[in-house]
Amino acid sequence: MSLTTDAIVKQFPSVKHIHDAFDSKKLSVFELTQSFLKSASESRHNAYITLCPELALEQARAAQVILEKEKKVPREKLPLLGIPLGIKDLIHRQGVRTTCASKVLENYIPPFSATAVSRLESAGAIVLGKLNLDEFGMGGSNENSAFGPVIHPTHPDRVPGGSSGGSACAVRASLCFGALGTDTGGSVRLPASYCGIVGLKPTYGRVSRYGLTAFASSLDQIGPMSRTVEDAALMLDVLSGHDPLDSTSDLRGATQARIALSREINWSATRIGVPKEYFVEGLSAEVQSSIEKSLQWFESRGAKLVPVSLPLTPYVISVYYLIAVSEASSNLARFDGVRYGVRPLAADHVKDLREFYTQVRGRFGAEVKRRIILGTFALSSGYADDYYRLACQVRRKMTEDLQQAFRSVDFIASPVAPTTAYRLGEKSQDPLQMYLNDIYTIPANLAGLPALSIPCGQDRDGLPIGLQLMAPHFQEEPLLAVGHALEQWQKGESFHAS
Amino acid sequence: MYLNYMVNVNEKLTQQVAHLARLELSQQEVELFTNQLNQVLQYVQKLQELDVKNVEPMVHPVSLDSYLREDIIQKPLEDSEGHPLILSSAPETLFEGFKVPPIL
Amino acid sequence: MHPEFEAVIGLEVHCQLSTQTKIFCACPARAPSGVSVADLVSNAHTCPVCAGHPGALPVLNRKVVEFAILAGLATHCQIRRKSVFARKNYFYPDLPKGYQISQFDLPICEGGFLEIQTSSGRKRITLQRIHMEEDAGKNIHMPGYSLVNLNRAGVPLIEIVSAPDMKTPEEAGAYLRALHAIVTYLEICDGNMQEGNFRCDANVSVMPKGSKTLGTRAEIKNVNSFRFVEKAIEYEIARQIEVIQSGQKVLQETRTFDAQKGVTLSMRSKEEAQDYRYFPDPDLIPVQIQESWIDELRGILPELPEQKKSRYVQSWGLTQYDADILTSSKSLAQFFEKVMERLGKSKESVNTLAKLASNWISGELIRLVNESGQDLAMSRVLPEHLADLVELVHQKTISHTGAKRVLAVIWEAGGTVSEVVEREGLRQVSDASALDPIIDKIIEMHPQQVQEFKSGKEKLLGFFVGQAMKETSGKGNPSLLGDLFKKKLLGD
């Protein structure tokens, strides 16, 4: 087989098509993995930090054996058989280096796998390698990686978005068939939007966080990133469900999202909320018009567009940043060089404990240090009530506002970001500027709501634009169904550039 | 708009906070972070406009049921030579302990 | 204690819970039976969770909550239906995550009390709170470096905090002993202070007598016996008074106790006041406790020391003092109760029997146990033996000395009481008619002493009894002999 992966994904755009091709022997399991490994190793995007070809090929061989035995892909039992995926390098795969894009963990090999990864592998998926990201998930452009920035998949002078920049780029550039990202304030949805792919942040508690290096424990979720909504749904079905190893994992069983996509949508009973506070100055005209076009399409199908009000919108970023950095400052305290990670100086060469800690932790990047300092401050005695605690109180009010809005609508629609992908270096000097970019994505993390980013257009430079849809807690199935419908329409209109 | 609490971080405070987090900053970093910290704090100051009297702080956004584990031992993993597997990630060990500079 | 000052003492006790697994992971919480904790390979009981690896998450052990509730019920606390875990953030090599998971604002139990008995009477000491937390690992200090062993990291603890209600070292000691008895009775903690599974920190301050303002307090840590705690507090009170009287200020600091020298020492190596930045741990959900669970646990609460003591005093007329000793450990109390099961069958004289049993247990039996360094559980002397022994002593079938002998023999080599009595020929002669001729003989043999006795030298009674004992090869009943001699010589 000499098809490039670009050609492969064009011809077989989703898992269903790949499995059909396996069944009809148009594609070979082993060669598919080989092709992706080749693309990944040859690409200049810097999307991967670590490739694990031996493991991937071993898994591919095993998948091939199964296929030969079963004659056809056993889609119920192994819904991801032979599908090569990339894993954001914040999430563990046992025996494969997890760096978190940090110098502090350059050499860390986890002795266990994340539940999310184990479930993917149990479903037959192949792990190609670990994808680049902003260090410890902190950033919105993938420029904060100790392993170099990731380049936008189609526009090399642009950022792919972050922090799951490597994941989004790899999916879009055909360096993997699908990927896992993580989303704390928009880190799956923003890069998905900038790169023109699908990204889902599930409800908080839907997907186990065991094996995910924690950034902000009450905000983090692992989410699938893929070319199609159907594949995101398929991955969610495999990833979700209670995990006894994660106390914040909801007790529900796995979703049945893929099946939900084929159900008829009752459009006339569908109400889509449009927050009036979102469509303000700062939002690019092209993004706005693209969003409006999608909304008009929903209306044309019979859905009602309902104006909603989220009056706490101006405070969203303040609340998020205080909570996220506070939790992060505590979560990152374990990186002290004692039990794992890089220790620049041996214990014998260090004067005392204080020097020991600071030389280990001095290897954090600037953004990480900044957030640790801000978070430590926000939790400090004398300040905690006015910063961390206050933010948690406002969080409750915001969540209540959103729940109130969902009494009159089924979904809330918005842009994913105020603009399309910006230039490398454009925002990296001003952290506050970067933080303001997250205004549309943050509410879903604060309120724990599921949120989907799907491509809905391009700007005049060909840069992708994403539409965000949020749903109430644990309503991923209807959310994905509506997203799927929009995507099908988009495809009909040839919005998906390949 | 009345702000009931206005804070201005100075370099000394930045140093103190950095020490709490075991980060050693260069003078340049102290200056830079102090500025940036002040910018961010200025921005988040506006939270104080809101009336949150009697609002319970929120830790988890979703109502989750507590799951308790049964008191059953799971044998810790060992490597092929019978050493505790957890030591295999360690930068420096001695006599099966994690080696660190003298504590006392 | 200086008459112009009074002391204010509060105690914090950390109990390691005797669950199978650690509080937040399934690693073993203790050494397998027969193996001492010190002999375990370092880090043999660790996993990514208790070693603080990235991505690892805590999951709460149900048994820990159960044990904490039991401790709360036994000390009359309110059990919080929803309690929250918080992170206590600081850096130390034996603290893998860089924070300890503990409880801050909403601990599982609050507002209980303990009753103590001291030489000044009974007193109620308030318990402010009981909360769950994880233990840290251990640092081993070597020349030029240290080694961290995380076997203990994550072992479940409950921290029991008293109000500063105690005023003397004696009260502190009584409180500790009472608390120790409770947790060992509940079987939620081994109570082994040497191995560190019952640790006590004392907060001590002094103030002018009658003052309303508390003085600065010092914390004394790591004292591993009741006696040492009492001594440490005693020394600290005196030290603080001296400091104040010399015009200086007492420092708020942490101190240790040097048992050799009997003094407390400042741990000046500790850092300045820590800012722990407590906040609710977002990796854990608040612990929700159903009413039905509390009722269930209330139903399985064993009879506690206080209740036993009352019962012993009421049912058998024992003194508080006796009851205190018998209930100082659960195994001792159970031993006594088994003895009373046998003895209690005879309704009359049950109080006398109880008193005898109490004396023999708290005297001779405890002495044998302590000298051997073993546990009461290893004793060959069983409750049946002691019950039989007490019967025989009560009936004056054997003498006090004889009984001691029986106990010693059975302790060493087992057997039954009647067997040993026969074998050793310990049966006392308590038959007055049998002793009569001997008495006559002795009187005949010692006319001078008889004369002296009759004219007032009462002490000679012992001489006569001694002679008769020799004559009977020790088998005579000494008190009966004494009575008979008196009767014969003095008439009555």
Spell out the domain ranges in chain A. 5-260, 272-307+400-490, 318-386
Asked if residue B42 belongs to a domain, the reply is: yes
Which of B4, B19, B62 is the best substitution to test chain A (most A C-beta atoms within 10 A)?
B62
Cα end-to-end span (Å), chain C: 54
Task: Kindly provide the ipTM of the predicted complex, given to two decimals.
Answer: 0.96
- Nearest CB among C42, C51, C62 relative to B71 is that of C62
Q: How confident is the model at residue A455 (pLDDT cuts 50, 70, 90)?
A: very high
Residue of C398 and C109 predicted with greater confidence: C109
C27/B73 Cβ within 8 A: yes
Compute the mean pLDDT over every residue in chain B, rounded to the nearest whole number. Answer: 90
C275/A247 Cβ within 8 A: no
Residues of chain B positioned with their CB less than 8 A from the CB of A386: 5, 7, 48
Report the catalytic residues of A: 88, 163, 187
* pLDDT greater than 80 at residue C157: yes
* pLDDT greater than 70 at residue B63: yes
Residues of chain A positioned with their CB less than 8 A from the CB of B25: 369
Residue of A384 and A3 predicted with greater confidence: A384
Same domain assignment for residues C271 and C341: no
φ, ψ of residue C71 in degrees (nearest 5)? -60, -40
Strands, sheet with C109-118, edge to edge from the N-terminal-most edge strand: C78-79, C109-118, C121-134, C156-162, C5-16, C198-208, C218-223, C254-258, C263-266
Residues of chain B positioned with their CB less than 8 A from the CB of A396: 55-58
- Between the ranges C27-36, C164-173, C251-260, where is the mean pLDDT highest? C164-173
CA closest to A348 among chain B residues: B101
Could you tell me if A190 and A161 are in contact, meaning their C-beta atoms sit under 8 angstroms apart? yes
Q: How confident is the model at residue C268 (pLDDT cuts 50, 70, 90)?
A: low
Same domain assignment for residues C245 and C359: no
B65/C46 Cβ within 8 A: no
Q: Is A114 exposed, middle or buried (0-12, 13-18, 19+ CB in 10 A)?
A: buried
C238 interfaces chain A, CB cutoff of 8 Å = no
Helix (H) or strand (E) holding A38: helix A29-42
Distance CA B88, CA C41 (A): 15
A251-309 pLDDT tens trace: 999 999 999 999 999 999 999 999 999 987 789 999 999 999 999 999 999 999 999 99
Q: How confident is the model at residue A428 (pLDDT cuts 50, 70, 90)?
A: confident
* pLDDT greater than 70 at residue C270: no
Q: How many CB atoms lie within 10 A of CB C160?
A: 27
What 3-state class would DSSP assign to A100? coil
pLDDT at C224: 87
CA closest to A330 among chain B residues: B21
Compute the mean pLDDT over every residue in chain C, rounded to the nearest whole number. Answer: 91
Asked if residue B44 belongs to a domain, the reply is: yes
Q: How confident is the model at residue B2 (pLDDT cuts 50, 70, 90)?
A: very low
* pLDDT greater than 80 at residue C433: no
Compute the mean pLDDT over every residue in chain A, rounded to the nearest whole number. Answer: 95
Residues of chain A positioned with their CB less than 8 A from the CB of B69: 244
Distance CA C165, CA C371 (A): 36
Neighbours, chain C (3 or more CB pairs < 8 A):
A, B
- Domain of residue B20, CATH code: 1.10.20
* pLDDT greater than 70 at residue C346: no
Residues of chain B positioned with their CB less than 8 A from the CB of C43: 84, 86-87, 96-98
Same domain assignment for residues C251 and C274: yes
C163-183 pLDDT tens trace: 999 999 999 999 999 999 999
Lookup result for tokens 């978005």:
A161
The tokens for A108 are: 């860390």
* pLDDT greater than 50 at residue A247: yes
Find the range with the poorest average confidence among A108-117, A227-236, A487-496, C158-167: A487-496
Same domain assignment for residues C408 and C445: no
pLDDT at A498: 38
pLDDT at B6: 61
Which domain does B16 fall in, by range? 11-48
- Nearest CB among C89, C91, C277 relative to A357 is that of C91
pLDDT at B3: 45
Distance CA C320, CA C305 (A): 12
- Domain of residue C476, CATH code: 1.10.10.410
Same domain assignment for residues C292 and C316: no
* pLDDT greater than 80 at residue A495: no
φ, ψ of residue A51 in degrees (nearest 5)? -100, 145
How many percent of chain C have pLDDT more than 90?
Answer: 61
- Span C418-434, mean pLDDT? 80
Alpha-carbon distance B33 to nearest alpha carbon in chain C (angstroms) = 21
B55 interfaces chain C, CB cutoff of 8 Å = no
Asked if residue B101 belongs to a domain, the reply is: no
Q: In Å, how far are A203, C71, C200, C217 from C11, measured between CA atoms?
A: 45, 16, 7, 12
pLDDT at A497: 42
Alpha-carbon distance B82 to nearest alpha carbon in chain A (angstroms) = 15
Which of C384, C400, C424 is the last residue before a domain boundary? C424
Asked if residue B100 belongs to a domain, the reply is: no
Asked if residue B23 belongs to a domain, the reply is: yes
Which of C403, C424, C445 is the last residue before a domain boundary? C424
Which of B1, B23, B33, B70 is the best substitution to test chain A (most A C-beta atoms within 10 A)?
B23
Strands (E), A167-228: 178-183, 198-201, 221-226
- Span A325-340, mean pLDDT? 98
- Between the ranges A428-442, C88-102, C185-199, C374-388, where is the mean pLDDT highest? C88-102
Which residue, among A15, A28, A479, has the nearest Cα to A265 in the 3D structure? Answer: A479
| Helix boundaries (H) for C38-139 | 62-74
Which domain does C374 fall in, by range? 305-424
Asked if residue B85 belongs to a domain, the reply is: no
Distance CA A463, CA A459 (A): 5
Length of chain C: 492
HSE at residue C491, side-chain half, CA atoms within 13 A, is 0
- Between the ranges A437-446, B7-16, C395-404, where is the mean pLDDT highest? A437-446
pLDDT at A496: 44
Amino acid (one-letter) located at A433: Q
pLDDT at C441: 87
User: What's the number of domains chain B is made of?
Assistant: 1
B76 interfaces chain A, CB cutoff of 8 Å = no
Find the range with the poorest average confidence among A38-42, A409-413, C337-341, C395-399: C395-399
Q: Looking at the domain that runs over A5-260, which CATH code has it been given?
A: 3.90.1300.10
Residues of chain A positioned with their CB less than 8 A from the CB of C145: 347-348
Which residue, among A292, C417, C85, has the nearest Cα to B59 in the 3D structure? Answer: C85
Q: Give the number of beta-carbon pairs within 8 Å between B and C.
A: 114
* pLDDT greater than 90 at residue A432: no
C350-365 pLDDT tens trace: 898 999 999 999 999 9
Same domain assignment for residues C315 and C274: no
B64/A218 Cβ within 8 A: no
B47 interfaces chain C, CB cutoff of 8 Å = no
Which residue, among C157, C247, C165, has the nearest Cα to C200 in the 3D structure? Answer: C157
Q: How confident is the model at residue C271 (pLDDT cuts 50, 70, 90)?
A: low
Same domain assignment for residues C438 and C419: no
pLDDT at A434: 76
pTM here? 0.90
Distance CA C150, CA A339 (A): 10
Q: Give the number of beta-carbon pairs within 8 Å between A and B.
A: 174
How do strand A304-308 and strand C254-258 relate by DSSP bridges?
Answer: unpaired
* pLDDT greater than 90 at residue A44: yes
C42/B97 Cβ within 8 A: yes
Same domain assignment for residues C53 and C199: yes
B63 interfaces chain C, CB cutoff of 8 Å = no
Neighbours, chain A (3 or more CB pairs < 8 A):
B, C
Q: State the sign of the Cα–Cα–Cα–Cα dihedral C172, C174, C179, C180.
A: positive
- Span C393-399, mean pLDDT? 84
pLDDT at C378: 84
Residues of chain C positioned with their CB less than 8 A from the CB of A114: 55
B58 interfaces chain C, CB cutoff of 8 Å = no
pLDDT at A212: 98
Q: Which of residues 297-356 of C touch A (CB under 8 A)?
A: none
What is chain B's alpha carbon radius of gyration, rounded to the nearest angstrom?
A: 24
* pLDDT greater than 80 at residue B5: no
| Helix boundaries (H) for C77-151 | none
Which residue, among A460, A164, A328, A57, has the nearest Cα to C279 in the 3D structure? Answer: A328
Residue of C69 and C37 predicted with greater confidence: C69
Alpha-carbon distance B13 to nearest alpha carbon in chain C (angstroms) = 14
A55-88 pLDDT tens trace: 999 999 999 999 999 999 999 999 999 999 999 9
Which residue, among A220, A157, A215, A211, has the nearest Cα to A188 in the 3D structure? Answer: A220
User: What's the number of domains chain C is made of?
Assistant: 3
Q: How confident is the model at residue C3 (pLDDT cuts 50, 70, 90)?
A: confident
Which of C146, C149, C275, C278 is the best substitution to test chain B (most B C-beta atoms within 10 A)?
C146
Same domain assignment for residues C92 and C123: yes
Which of A334, A373, A396 is the best substitution to test chain C (most C C-beta atoms within 10 A)?
A334
Chain C residues with CB under 8 Å of a chain B CB are 19-21, 26-28, 41-48, 51, 53, 59-63, 65, 91, 93, 139-150, 269, 275, 277, 280, 282, 285-288
Asked if residue B37 belongs to a domain, the reply is: yes
pLDDT at C2: 81
A168-221 pLDDT tens trace: 999 999 999 999 999 999 999 999 999 999 999 999 999 999 999 999 999 999
Which of B15, B47, B66 is the best substitution to test chain A (most A C-beta atoms within 10 A)?
B47
B37 interfaces chain A, CB cutoff of 8 Å = yes
